[in-house]
Amino acid sequence: MNIKNAVDKAYETMSLRDILKSPVSAIQGVSAMAAKRLKEAFRISTVEQFAKLRFAKWAWSLVSMEKYSRKEKADTTTLNINKAVDKAYEDKTIKEILDAPVSALQGLSERQAELLAKALRVRTVRKLGTSKAFHKAMAIYFMALSEDTNSDPNSQL
């Protein structure tokens, strides 16, 4: 598989599992300085840790679900994402949450939001959910599961 547009040249011939153990800067488009800022903000240093960043997964999920949502406020539906968003956003529509600053995500501080903006130019939940760098990391993570199906609990399904 050719992933030269996903990772920097030095990582192109590595196995996906080895890429997961590599620094976040192995992802094409993530500079060493951006990786340093991500480490400062979230204590992540590897591609795998980046792929598993809960805030990015929440944002990606919201972006994915937006096309299936209605325009009503959250209190008219059964969707409960209160543990993923700050209290001020619990009654907002998915669109309103996606257009909100990333600090609208539960547990993401203003300082982390500032570092995220400096690292990846991400300021809104939508931008985080559509981040190419995060998508590359996540794709590498899931494809790496195919290298060793014994490590994937769902491979037998």
The model carries a pTM of 0.85
The DSSP H or E segment spanning 98 is helix 94-98
Contact yes or no for 154/61 (Cβ under 8 A): no
Per the prediction, the chain carries an average pLDDT of 89
In angstroms, the Cα distances linking 11 to 3, 27, 93, 120, 138 are 9, 9, 40, 20, 16
**pLDDT at res. 36:** 97
Mean pLDDT value of segment 132-142: 95
Helix axes 54-66, 132-144, angle to 10 degrees: 100
Neighbours of 33 (CB within 10 A): 11
Do residues 129 and 59 make contact, with C-beta atoms less than 8 angstroms apart?
A: yes
Structural contact between residues 137 and 22, judged by C-beta atoms closer than 8 angstroms? no
Question: CB neighbours (10 Å) of residue 6?
Answer: 22
Least confident of 84-88, 105-109, 132-136: 84-88
Lowest mean pLDDT, pick from 6-10, 40-44, 78-82, 153-157: 153-157
Q: Which of 55, 44, 43 is nearest to 107 (CA)?
A: 55
How many residues in total does the chain contain? Answer: 157
- How does pLDDT run across 3-16, given as a tens digit for each residue? 888 999 999 999 99
Structure letter (DSSP) for residue 105: B
Mean pLDDT of 25-40: 97
- Asked if residue 23 lies in contact with residue 46, where contact means CB atoms within 8 angstroms, the answer is yes
In this prediction, residue 157 carries a pLDDT of: 33
Q: Is the pLDDT of residue 124 over 50?
A: yes
Does position 136 have pLDDT exceeding 50, yes or no? yes
Residue 141 has pLDDT above 80, yes or no: yes
Residue 155 pLDDT > 70: no
What is the pLDDT at residue 1? 64
Sequential DSSP letters for 8-22:
-GGGTTS-HHHHHTS
Condensed to tens digits (0 to 9), the pLDDT of residues 63-89 reads 999 888 766 554 455 467 888 999 999
